[in-house]
Structure formats: structure tokens, C-alpha cells
Copies of this chain bind each other. A is one copy, B any other.
């Protein structure tokens, strides 16, 4: 496997033909054809079906095309850094932090208000991403810090500092009949429209299994991938959702209430950074600001 093969894969997925790819890359069509073959051989995977003189990407090609793009982006970043080093450029210190999408509205600004005043020379870059993306961004050193829900094992390249916890709760509209209950269990949710997140992730699968064991069929109306959108759908009467109280506490301004969900489950949340990499003073301070804001957000209950 070599870099040009990956570029060929990327370009083929974009253009759909070896002729167009060859033109775009300044190569011959036969070169492109060969490199595709070599890559398929190197990976022992068919990336394109040859159908009537056409190349049809396989599902594998789309998956690995994304990976190839990541490799090429990393190479571009390296080339960019080399360019910067050759040009001797340097700017203000930038501290980069990744947060769950659900935290942009009030949490992130509240966290940054004092910080920006205390560190006037520091530029902050915020990313609102999924747990998976945040983990990757930390691993790749794209960001200095991340806050995420701790799920299963992380590799040795990540250092985690547990800073918060929550329990599973059911979020319902405040005028919903289920809002009168002190706690909500699965049988309460029979025939209730559900808004669920984290499809195919371990915690979600555990929830699916619990429904199955209780003999209750889930009436899922909406799948989504952020706690924020799930709560908003609930607030608009589209159904009820099951999330961590940590996030539910961020949405107190919505006309919803949350009740402990049975079977009980707890979650842990942590601060992540690349293992073995010391944080700058500014990044440490941002870490501190984050921890402080977390305490505030969870304490006001």
C-alpha cells in the first residue's frame, strides 16, 4: 500500500472512472487501473465491481475510502506543518477542546466567559463532536483536551480523568402522564413513541436487550445521535427519550422533566488528553474551567 494508491481510491470514488481520475491526477488511465488493482491485491479486498465496462464501488470501498481520506488528510497536515516550519511562521497559542455537541448552547459559553478574560492572549478552538470523534481528535493530537462519556476501553494513547457521573433517566414532556411517576421502567414505555440515541453502540445495545428481556417492543420513532436533539424532540412532543442525567441536567430550560429509569444504569464522564503529553498552562487552565463548569451544571438540582 502506498500513498498514490490511496489518492487513486479517493479520486475514483469521487469521479467514478479511471479515465477521469487519470486526468485529474495527471497520470495515464492504465496507471490508475493498475494502482487500483495493486491496492485491491494489497488489501485482499474487491473495491470496485467491474460491470459493463464500468467501475461500481463496493460497500467496502466506501468504508475504506473514508479511511484513505483520513490518511491523506494526515499527510496534508504534515506537509502543511513542514511548510510552516520552512517559512518560520508562528502565531498566538491556540488551545483546542472537543466537547459533545450537546454542550454548545449554554455550557461552553459559560465555561469560556471567565477563561477568555483570564487568558487574553490565548485563542480557543472548540469542536463539538461525538465521543468517537473526540477520542480520535485527541489521539491524533488535533485537540489538546476532550470531554466525553467514558465507554468501555480506551487505548493506552489516551489519559482519562473521571470528573462527572450520571444515571439513566427517562426524559418526558412536563405535561406527559409519565411525568407523574417517581421512576419509569420499561413496561411504562410499552406503546410509547421513543426517541433513541446511540444506535449500535454498546450502551444502546444494552438498552435494546433490556427491552427484549422485558418482552416490550420498542416503538422507536426517531433515531438520533445527540442528547441535545433527543431532548429537543421530547420538548416538542415527539416522544420520550432515555439518556444520562448528566445531559438531562443541561436541558432544564426545556419544558421536560426527567425521572430515574429502571433498570438502573450509571455513566461516567471524563476529561481526556493524549497520554504522556503535558498540557500547556493555558490548556491546564481550560481543563480547570471545564471541571468547574461541570460542577456548576450538575449541582443546581
Contacts and interface: CB of A to CB of B under 8 A. Distances in A.
A71 B68 contact: no
Interface of A: 1-3, 13-16, 43-45, 60, 62-68, 70-71, 73-75, 77-79, 81-82, 85-86, 94, 101, 104-106, 108-110, 112-113, 116, 123-128, 136, 139-141, 155-157, 193, 199, 220-226, 228-229, 232-233, 235-238
Secondary structure of the A contact surface, majority rule: helix
B109 A232 contact: yes
A199 B125 contact: yes
Contacts of A63: 81, 85
A228 B101 CA distance: 10
17 contacts: A16-B157, A43-B79, A43-B82, A44-B86, A45-B86, A64-B85, A65-B140, A71-B74, A73-B139, A109-B233, A109-B236, A109-B238, A112-B222, A113-B238, A123-B222, A123-B223, A125-B223
Nearest to A200: B80
A51 to B, nearest CB: 14
B229 A126 contact: yes
Nearest to A106: B232
A219 to B, nearest CB: 10
B45 A124 contact: no
A156 to B, nearest CB: 7
Nearest to A274: B66
Contacts of A116: 193, 221-222, 238
A243 B226 CA distance: 23
Given A108-B233, A140-B73, A224 B81 contact: no
Contacts of A14: 155, 157
Contacts of A229: 104-105, 108, 126, 128
Contacts of A125: 199, 222-224
Given A43-B82, A104-B228, A155 B15 contact: yes
A101 B128 contact: yes
Contact of A126 (B106, B155, B225): B225
Q: 3 tightest A-B contacts by CB?
A: A67-B78, A109-B236, A125-B223
A139 B81 CA distance: 17
B66 A140 contact: yes
Contacts of A3: 1-3
